[in-house]
Amino acid sequence: MSNLKYLHIALSAGGVALLAALATAASALQPTTHVTTLLSTSKTVMDEPIVYPTGSPAKVTTVIVSMAPGAETGWHKHGVPLVGLVLEGELTVDYGARGKRTYKKGDSVAEAMNVPHNGRNTGTDTMRLFVVYMGADGLQSSIPVKH
């Protein structure tokens, strides 16, 4: 074999090794992404169909609700669809004649809209709830009701 042919083979082998090394380094720079579905539903926890408001520009609001042990939200309903994720603690929601449900850290819920309810921190630590309201300009996300 000629020296030129040996050089070509050596460069080709080196090129493959270099490309492999670059690919390994690039994959280390791009962390793997995992998607975990927490909730996928077309109905609320009280089996109401989720219906988005119309007539006004859409508005999404995110909040974190923090409640001390024993604290309550007060009886209310929602004028817009919403989902929540318990970040810490425990929340028991009283839906009146429809019963009570307890949500703990990691639980997701598509909250009732037209069913009045009252949330209470029934845990021993602060409860934190991440909420996404899917509303529209001019609509209240929570509406106090008498019980």
pLDDT by residue (tens digit) across 50-71? 998 888 899 999 999 999 999 9
Quick one: pLDDT band at residue 10, thresholds 50, 70, 90?
A: very low
Q: How many domains would you assign to the chain?
A: 2
Q: Give the integer Cα–Cα distance in Å for 48 and 115.
A: 9
CB-CB contact of 67 with 76 (8 Å): no
124 and 67 both lie in a single domain = yes
**Total residue count of the chain as it appears in this document:** 147
Residue 114 within a domain? yes
66 and 127 both lie in a single domain = yes
Residue 81 within a domain? yes
Residue 45 within a domain? no
63 and 134 both lie in a single domain = yes
What residues pair up with 136 in beta bridges, in sequence order?
A: 58
pTM for this prediction: 0.76
Quick one: pLDDT band at residue 6, thresholds 50, 70, 90?
A: very low
62-91 core/surface letters (b: 16 or more CB in 10 A; e: else): eeebebeeeeebeebbbbbbbbbbbeebbb
Residue 98 within a domain? yes
Residue 116 within a domain? yes
CB-CB contact of 121 with 93 (8 Å): no
Q: Give the integer Cα–Cα distance in Å for 34 and 104.
A: 23
Quick one: pLDDT band at residue 118, thresholds 50, 70, 90?
A: very high
Residue 50 within a domain? no
18 and 82 both lie in a single domain = no
What is the residue range of 1's domain?
Answer: 1-33
Q: Which secondary-structure segment (H or E) carries 10?
A: helix 3-29
68 and 131 both lie in a single domain = yes
29 and 73 both lie in a single domain = no
What residues pair up with 102 in beta bridges, in sequence order?
A: 92
Tokens found for residue 22: 């670059």
